[in-house]
């Protein structure tokens, strides 16, 4: 694998291979496997989980890591995104992790010849988030085929929703969306939230991404919580073996109640744990040539 831009570029077999390798990374087999390699993490948009779980994965692999700080860089002197990335390539490093607010930013990086790992582009794709979601689901249920998932919330502005629905449908899952009308998108199957609660195997909540909106949300935060928030009363109506997921960061008492965050059905922190494993796996597949 030369780069990781989006899961659409990978076959179902390639995706399952990455998940298999991620599970193998658990026992330390690949710790220090890439100890001679240098990687840069270039985040042009804020991040906690993706940035630092890539960083943790790189440290587990024994890599040497450069953390780019965009606020203290020559971007402030007018240097372009392309020239910044070209500069890192010229350091003769082995790979680069990039997050940017622009959709498909990698299309302007065709002249960069080191592996690029996409850590999220605009509202389009978040391939490593989807991989960690898939690992969490496969490890929980043992398969994908026939599972029902509802992704609830700000679908329109969510790279997680867009990335996940494409690959989950390819893997045989039944994907539905739910949430406020203002954040719905044509082309997806809609389900009423309270129906979804009772029928789905997986409820995946999303944060309202105010930073990507031009207009203020029509609902107040209290109204959002009342109509679309996952409360314990709703959790108690879910199927016995159903689970709750969220890419995080989450807003307590908006899309999720405080006491639901770490309840028995929640896999939110398991997703974060799995994030390190899938990021080790994609680095091994690209920079490690596995
Ligand atoms: N899930 C996710 O992408 O979180 P961060 O924005 O904190 O990386």
Q: How far is the CA of 269 from the centre of ligand 1 (A)?
A: 13
114 and 239 co-located in one domain: no
CA gap 223, 2 in Å, rounded: 46
69 and 157 co-located in one domain: no
Q: Which residue has the tokens 């390699």?
A: 37
Pairing of strands 95-100, 116-121: parallel
137 and 258 co-located in one domain: yes
In this model, does residue 211 exceed pLDDT 80?
no
Which one of 101, 131, 249 would you pick to mutate in the ligand 1 pocket, going by the greatest count of ligand atoms within 8 A of its CB? 249
CA gap 88, 28 in Å, rounded: 30
Residue 57 lies in a domain: yes
In short, whether 211's Cβ falls inside 6 Å of ligand 1 is no
Q: How far is the CA of 228 from the centre of ligand 1 (A)?
A: 21
CATH code, domain carrying 221: 3.40.50.1370
Which sign does the torsion angle of CA 142, 144, 146, 149 carry?
positive
Residue 2 lies in a domain: no
Residue 67 lies in a domain: yes
Q: What is the pLDDT of residue 165?
A: 97
Does residue 177 contact residue 184 with C-beta atoms inside 8 Å?
A: yes
In this model, does residue 244 exceed pLDDT 80?
yes
Does residue 84 contact residue 43 with C-beta atoms inside 8 Å?
A: no
pTM: 0.96
For residue 187, give both structure tokens: 């082309």
Residue-number span of the structural domain to which 237 is assigned: 127-268
Nearest to 113 by CA among 129, 97, 139, 94: 94
Does residue 134 contact residue 163 with C-beta atoms inside 8 Å?
A: no
Residue 177 DSSP class: E
Q: How far is the CA of 45 from the centre of ligand 1 (A)?
A: 10
142 and 264 co-located in one domain: yes
In this model, does residue 210 exceed pLDDT 90?
no
132 and 252 co-located in one domain: yes
Length of the chain equals 290
In short, whether 249's Cβ falls inside 6 Å of ligand 1 is yes
16 and 30 co-located in one domain: yes
* Average pLDDT of every residue of the chain: 96
119 and 228 co-located in one domain: no
User: Considering its fold, how many domains does the chain have in total?
Assistant: 2
14 and 99 co-located in one domain: yes
In this model, does residue 176 exceed pLDDT 90?
yes
CA distances from 111 to 82, 89, 92, 107 (A): 9, 10, 14, 9
Percent pLDDT > 90 in the chain is: 93
Residue 1 lies in a domain: no
50 and 145 co-located in one domain: no
Q: Which residue has the tokens 């009423």?
A: 192
Output the 3-class SS for 87-114.
HHHHCCCCEEEEEECCCCHHHHHCCCCC
In this model, does residue 213 exceed pLDDT 80?
no
Q: What is the pLDDT of residue 33?
A: 98
Residue 83 lies in a domain: yes
193 and 241 co-located in one domain: yes
142 and 51 co-located in one domain: no
Q: How far is the CA of 152 from the centre of ligand 1 (A)?
A: 17
Residue 103 lies in a domain: yes
147 and 262 co-located in one domain: yes
Q: What confidence tens digit (pLDDT) does each residue in 140-159 have?
A: 999 999 999 999 999 988 99
Residue 88 lies in a domain: yes
Q: Which residue has the tokens 């024994």?
A: 62
């Amino acid at each position: 694998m030369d780069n990781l831009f989006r899961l659409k570029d990978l076959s179902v077999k390639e995706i399952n291979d990455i998940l298999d390798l991620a599970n193998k990374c658990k026992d330390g087999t690949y710790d220090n496997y890439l100890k001679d390699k240098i990687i840069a993490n270039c985040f042009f948009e804020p991040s906690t989980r993706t940035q630092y779980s890539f960083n943790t994965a790189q440290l587990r692999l024994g890599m040497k890591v450069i953390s780019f700080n965009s606020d203290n860089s020559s971007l402030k002197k007018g240097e372009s995104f392309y020239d910044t990335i070209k500069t890192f390539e010229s350091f003769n490093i082995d790979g680069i992790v990039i997050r940017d607010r622009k959709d498909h930013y990698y299309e302007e990086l065709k002249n960069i010849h080191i592996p690029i790992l996409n850590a999220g582009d605009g509202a389009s794709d978040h391939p490593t988030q989807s991989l960690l979601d898939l690992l969490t689901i496969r490890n929980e249920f043992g398969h994908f085929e026939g599972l029902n998932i509802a992704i609830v919330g700000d679908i329109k502005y969510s790279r997680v929703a867009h990335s996940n629905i494409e690959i989950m449908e390819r893997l045989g899952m039944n994907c539905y969306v739910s949430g406020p009308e203002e954040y719905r998108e044509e082309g997806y199957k809609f389900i009423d939230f309270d129906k979804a609660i009772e029928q789905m195997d997986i409820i995946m909540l999303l944060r309202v991404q105010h930073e990507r909106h031009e207009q203020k949300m029509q609902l107040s935060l209290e109204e959002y919580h009342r109509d679309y928030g996952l409360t314990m009363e709703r959790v108690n109506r879910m199927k016995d073996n159903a689970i709750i997921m969220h890419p995080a960061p989450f807003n307590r008492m908006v899309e999720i109640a405080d006491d639901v965050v770490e309840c028995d059905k929640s896999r939110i922190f398991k997703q974060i744990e799995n994030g390190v494993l899938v990021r080790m796996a994609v680095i091994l597949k690209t920079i490690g040539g596995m």
